[in-house]
Structure 1
Amino acid sequence: TLLFAFLVALGLSLVSLVDTGATVQLKRYDTEDDANTHARKRVTQTRILRRVVQVLIMLVAVGIALLTIPGVRQWGLSLLASAGVVGIVAGLALQPFLANMIAGIQIAMAQPIRIDDAVVVEGEWGRVEEITSTYVVVKLWDWRRIILPLTYFIQQPFQNWTRMDTRLLAPAFLWVDYEAPIDRLRDKLEQIVHSSIYWDGDTVALVIFDITERTAKIRCTASARNASAAFDLKCEIREKMLAFMRDECREALPRDRVDLFEMAPLPKKAILLED
């Protein structure tokens, strides 16, 4: 009994020691800064590896402790020796857990996602809020949470907007008339972006992106320091460019045209009445 209790207590002590070391390590990094790619990488690795190591320590400690009890040891060995049913059932039951644990190690090493990454999963945009030993919590833009297994980020394609850098381009699309003064629109875009608090001072551009049978599609692009600022900047560009076209540049608004010369001639009765 004392040996069993000692082994369990030793396992719990090692788990607490790992937790303390991980907490000290996490306090060294600040993930609130915009240029926090390195910090988010280390925080993600520390949190995932902490949980994996703690689980492994407890499994080993409990396993060794059970071996000290002859009755349990002989019962387990006899079951495994007589039939492999227990091993098969245990293997099937632990398969999702082991798959997620291995996926967690892969995520910690390869870093496809990190804490506070801006990602698009299942058609929803959000930020990675928490990474556990089996699942990932993504906080969506409307404050909902979507829970995904770790294997999702290994087996399924997804978008990571901050994989290498937090800076992003904010493209805003507008439809304008063929007679729209592109130079005036470009000057107005630069004025809007330069006065915006969301712009990072790098990129601003306006180009004709596409042409339809009625309108021209223009793309207003500016850069921002992170995904949230890029979204706000895109909304600000759309709002102020629309107000400018409505109030000061109405020739840029899309219009329908009718060619009177190609209209069908009036009926003869209508011509006589007109005469």
Structure 2
Amino acid sequence: MVDAFFALWMHNAWVRLGLMVVVGLVLAVVLRAVAYAVLQRSAVGHPVIADIMGRASAPMEWLIPLLTLTMALRIWPPAASAPVALLQHLLLIALLATGTWLAVRCIGAFEGAAIRRYPMDVADNLRARRVVTQVRVLGRTADVIVIVIGASIILLTIPGVRQLGASLLASAGVAGLAIGLAARPVLSNLIAGLQIALTQPIRLDDVVIIEGEWGRVEEITGSYVVVRIWDERRLVVPLNWFIENPFQNWTRRSSQLVGAVSLMVDYRMPLAPLREELKRLCDEAPEWDRRVCVLQLTDANEHAMQLRVLVSSADSGRNWDLRCRVREGLIGYIQAHHPEALPRWRGELDRSHPATDEASMPASPEPQHAPSPEDGGPRRGGA
């Protein structure tokens, strides 16, 4: 029996191939169990490893069997034949694709761990927004690089595609120029993403003004930025736009902001009680951060005075509410206590000349005209 088995093993390549596949699958099961046991023990108290295990479980289900089968066929190859070579090549392509998938999942795990370490739902989240922006942009850039490298390696293993690529490179000419021009927006956005991640002109949850629109940076992808406008609209802006165009960032260094309120009042408005009322309004406002509360006379013309009120808040949203509160309160105070100080137009009546009446006006002369024949006048050639 044993001699017959060895004879079959030595002379039948397909039997050897089947045995190698079985051995590889059994080895894969054993290695998978050992790897998961080691990782589960290491994951205790380490959320990063636990996250990697959760994200990498799907590609690992394929990676270990493919790896063991590839190694088995390489170490104990059966008789050389076209089907066996094709099988080895397909296993290599599947192994490379699964490795690329695993690398992308691991990058996502590290990205998630970094984001959890810096929560953004705190009062002072400037550092968190800086780190999360860098991690997300660099993570998406790394995903693109890993996928491109993996696809390139897979294509290089295929002889026909490799020869086709070489012939295309040899005869690049106009085709290469066209491809370069077509890929320019993609490459410019990729480079702009790296610049934004490193220099950080914008970050997640930054308050920006773009093309006259006020909003917050909601999402930064590998090619565009989504800005949530105050009225719940979404403004989608390419990444390279932020590198090539000026824009306002109200939270670049800090979320604290000083806002202005302008009022036009009459010259009869006393400023001292108005300043006291402004101080009272700020003290009662929960949006005020107790840094700036100033009333200044900034301009005056022939009609009214222009007053400017400066108030500060912890962020732009609170500052907007505070400005509306102060504006409404000051106008209500002027209406209630100094209504004469509301803006008005002044005019002067000149009574130095006495008024004239119709009786003193000379009567206009009646029109002088010759009577017509219908009026009873003389007729030419009458009797």
Structure with the larger RCO, 1 or 2 (CA within 8 Å, 6+ apart): 1
- The corresponding residue for 1:240 is 329
- The corresponding residue for 1:181 is 270
- The corresponding residue for 1:44 is 133
Instruction: Compute the TM-score of the two structures, normalised by the length of structure 2.
Output: 0.68
- The corresponding residue for 1:269 is 357
Measured against aligned partners, the alpha-carbon deviations of 1:129-170 in whole angstroms (never above 9, x if no partner) come to 000010000001111100000111111110000101100012
The structure whose residues are more often strand, as a share, is 1
Measured against aligned partners, the alpha-carbon deviations of 1:82-115 in whole angstroms (never above 9, x if no partner) come to 3434322321221101101100110111110000
- Which of the numbers 170, 175, 187 marks the counterpart of 1:98? 187
Runs of 5+ in structure 1 lacking a partner?
none
Residues 108-257 of structure 1: pairs in structure 2 closer than 5 A:
108-257=197-346
CA distance 1:8–1:85, shift in 2 (3 Å): farther
Instruction: Compute the TM-score of the two structures, normalised by the length of structure 1.
Output: 0.94
Distance of 2:255 and 2:311 partners within structure 1: 14
Distance of 1:31 and 1:199 partners within structure 2: 22
Structure 2 counterpart of 1:116, one-letter code: D
Distance of 2:97 and 2:201 partners within structure 1: 36
- Which of the numbers 15, 19, 34 marks the counterpart of 2:104? 15
Count of residue pairs brought into register by the alignment: 271
Runs of 5+ in structure 2 lacking a partner?
1-89, 361-383
Offset at 1:266?
Answer: 3.7
CA distance 1:211–1:55, shift in 2 (3 Å): same
- Which of the numbers 161, 164, 171 marks the counterpart of 1:72? 161
Preserved contact between residue 34 and residue 166 of structure 1 (Cα < 8 Å):
no
Larger Rg: 2
The structure whose residues are more often helix, as a share, is 2
Measured against aligned partners, the alpha-carbon deviations of 1:164-217 in whole angstroms (never above 9, x if no partner) come to 110001211110001111111111111111100110111100001111220111
CA distance 1:228–1:184, shift in 2 (3 Å): same
Structure 2 counterpart of 1:57, one-letter code: V
Tell me the percent identity. 42
Offset at 1:32?
Answer: 2.1
Aligned-CA RMSD value: 1.6
Offset at 1:268?
Answer: 3.5
Structure 1 counterpart of 2:321, one-letter code: D
Offset at 1:271?
Answer: 11
SS in 2 for 1:115: coil
